[in-house]
Amino acid sequence: MLYMDINIRKGCFDDAGCLADIEAICFPKSEAAGLASFEARLKSFGNCFLIAEMDGKIIGFINGMVTDRETIADEMFDDASLHKENGMWQSIFGLDVLPEYRCRGVAAELMRTFIAKARKEGRKGCILTCKERLIPYYSKFGYVNKGVSESQHGGAVWYDMILEFKK
């Protein structure tokens, strides 16, 4: 349940700086995407960004490229050209919400909207990697834990999660 009035919209190139700032707050430096990465992503797959705003201020976002892979590979974080517009899987690189807006349903609303968008686009489902402590959170949306990921992004241990859409 969403406990505040937010607007969810598509991302645009002009959002890159703000998104990089939010990412730096939400992820450790070794894992956070920087400004150049967000600019490349927004150029390549800006339609795969959803932004949560409140009173015109960006308070969170979700993003990820489309791929034919069932798991996220580390090179996907750094090479926006790997985006495959007609791919079968919508990946999720990050679900970021500023700390002062957490626990109010913003992340859940972003996730539900992103899943609905992927379903409407005819994808097979969504994929993401997460840390062990977040497995129960993503499971609430129907994601299934496929075990420890091959990803070593930022030197962390990640788990592959998959949400397959029912036909």
From first to last of the 167 residues of the chain, give the pLDDT tens digit. Answer: 566 789 999 999 999 999 999 999 999 999 999 999 999 999 999 999 999 999 999 999 999 999 999 999 999 999 999 999 999 999 999 999 999 999 999 999 999 999 999 999 999 999 999 999 999 999 999 999 999 999 999 899 999 999 999 87
CATH number for domain 7-123, candidates 3.40.50.620, 3.40.630.30, 3.40.605.10, 3.40.5.90:
3.40.630.30
Q: What is the pTM of this model?
A: 0.94
What is the DSSP annotation of the chain? ---S--EEEE--GGGHHHHHHHHHHHS-TTT---HHHHHHHHHHHGGGEEEEEETTEEEEEEE--EES-SS--HHHHH-GGG--TT-SEEEE-EEEE-GGGTTSSHHHHHHHHHHHHHHHTT-SEEEEEE-GGGHHHHHTTT-EEEEE-S--GGG---EEEEEEPP-
